[in-house]
A and B are shown apart, each in its own frame.
Chain A
Amino acid sequence: MTDGGRGPGALRVVAPAAVALVVLAAWQALTAGLDVPSYLVPSPAVVARTLVDDRALLFRSLGVTLGIALAALAIAVIVGTLTALLFVQSRWIEMSLFPYAVLLQVTPIVAIAPLIIIWVKDAWVALVLCAVVVAVFPIISNTTLGLRSVDPGLLDLFRMARASRWQTLARLRVPSALPYFFGGLRIASGLALIGAVVAEFVAGTGGNGAGLAYQILLAGFQLNIPRLFAALVLIAATGVVLFALTVWLSKAALARWHESELPVRD
């Protein structure tokens, strides 16, 4: 989280791209040189070709998984923020409820997912719910921390001005919490995707509603390893894009004033 997308612009793109090129070249050379069969480790070229050949299937599945992850992230943001706002209303509320938020976080989703899938009739809703369970905690904990991390002097100032609870919330606590919230959002974006994939694994939903996880499962059963790799590449790329999106959002919201987004002087 320390390098929230800063540093010299060109280098930030060129350096990782160079690493990717070297790794891909080595991978290609090794699989070709050692004559590794593609049902064990496919070469990057084969994976790329599979991505193109199976694009209809893979990208439809990507749409499903991404839809679940984004819906879950949106719900996690709303539920998490509202929970955090509730927590800061009184220490009593927070003390009573926070342990259950932690409980939700520490219980492995694979253990809860079957229950949710049994209880919730609609498969899509069940999958979204699973992903929400995974993604909501960082939003709750970070936003709660942020809403409490208010300059005590400013809080005194608001108190002396007899500011209402609402004024203090809207004009002081919420802006103070934004950097923390965006920190939570970055973590939650990745977790929403992981939650969606894990839930799909557990549910094993096929057919039109099949997500990328199902394609991975199926490809594994069919020993279609190139397709498995292709699906994996898509999931990873989606995760990176989601993360980049939250980084960009955070920058757009905080760049003017918060230390974490100010340009580095060196």
Chain B
Amino acid sequence: MDARHRGQGEGPALNARRGAAGDAPVVALAGVDKQFANGTQALAPISVDVRRGELLTLLGPSGCGKSTLLNIAAGLIAPTHGAVRWWGGPLAATGGAGRRLAFVFQSPTLMPWARVDTNVRLPLDLARVPRAQSDVAVADALALVGLTSFARHLPRELSGGMQMRVSIARALVTAPDLLLMDEPFGALDDFTRQRLDAELLALWAARALTIVFVTHSIVEAVYLSTRVAVMGARPGRVLADIAIDEPFPRGDDWRVSTAAAAHARRLSELVAHASTTGADASRAPA
């Protein structure tokens, strides 16, 4: 859990040494970059380790490749160079066909023709989990996100925030260790977003999850994270890796505390500096 206290500048090499065999990083990205077929360099080589129990936020402006990086961490796209390891090995070796990791998309991405419980059950159905067993898991997941009474509703009958909760329940139904979230609350209003942020932190604590969370909201990043990777664009790269070393639980009043504001100011300076200078922003003020 030392990673929480890790400031910027400490390389992944040191991290790797620290990770003994039994405590391999949940995800280890080693020198991964991504060049798209049209020649665009989406990501410059990046090395990041995600340790167990972390809530790492990838923060940056649009087009900085944070979603691409998350997709690489999900095994959805292959990096052009570099290697990704999950729990110290390839994804195929994680057992349960990748059920130890779950992905939450920008939009709820629900099947519009299927009721809420069927949507949540999907990952279990695809893994051919027996119905009796999946019924329990679905009920648990819906209870976690507070949607038990909406199990028989169709997605279109729910609000945007509720649809996102269904999406989170679907991600949690396989009891994953790692949750990858790609700007999940970006399309929601501020009130809903704050509530879901708080709920997410509660789930993270209750389920001992490791979460990688993509956002372009500095406030959200500060509130949620144990650690923030600030990213810059053209090509996408990690400018700074900053620990938000503040205790949990963080209540609603913590959002507007001076401590939170100080972190937010530091992050926004980094982001601003990155957008005014070029590739040298890696030597940004800390």
Interface string of B112-138 (1 = CB under 8 A from A): 111000000011011100000000000
CA distance A87 to B126 in the complex (A): 24
Counting chain A residues whose Cβ lies within 8 A of the other chain, the interface size class is 20 to 34
Q: Which of A159-174 contact B (CB under 8 A)?
A: 159-163, 167, 171-172
Residue of A nearest to B182 (CB): A153
B76–A161 CB distance below 8 A: no
Distance (Å) between the CB of B172 and the closest chain A CB? 14
Residue of B nearest to A163 (CB): B126
- List the B side residues contacting A154 at CB < 8 Å: 109, 111
A257–B103 CB distance below 8 A: no
B127–A257 CB distance below 8 A: no
Distance (Å) between the CB of A67 and the closest chain B CB? 34
From A157, A162, A172, A257, B97 is in contact (CB under 8 Å) with A162
A258–B112 CB distance below 8 A: yes
CA distance A256 to B154 in the complex (A): 8
B113–A153 CB distance below 8 A: no
From A158, A160, A163, A256, B113 is in contact (CB under 8 Å) with A256
CA distance A161 to B174 in the complex (A): 10
State whether A159 and B109 are in contact (beta carbons under 8 Å apart), knowing that A171-B125, A257-B154, A257-B156 are contacts in the complex.
no
Interface string of B80-116 (1 = CB under 8 A from A): 0000000000000000011101010111010111100
Interface residues of B (CB under 8 A from A): 74-76, 97-99, 101, 103, 105-107, 109, 111-114, 122-123, 125-127, 154-156
Subset of 29 A-B contacts with CB under 8 Å: A151-B109, A153-B105, A153-B106, A153-B109, A154-B111, A156-B76, A156-B105, A157-B103, A157-B105, A157-B109, A157-B123, A158-B126, A160-B75, A160-B98, A160-B101, A160-B103, A161-B99, A161-B123, A161-B127, A162-B97, A162-B126, A171-B125, A171-B126, A172-B111, A175-B113, A175-B114, A257-B112, A257-B113, A257-B156
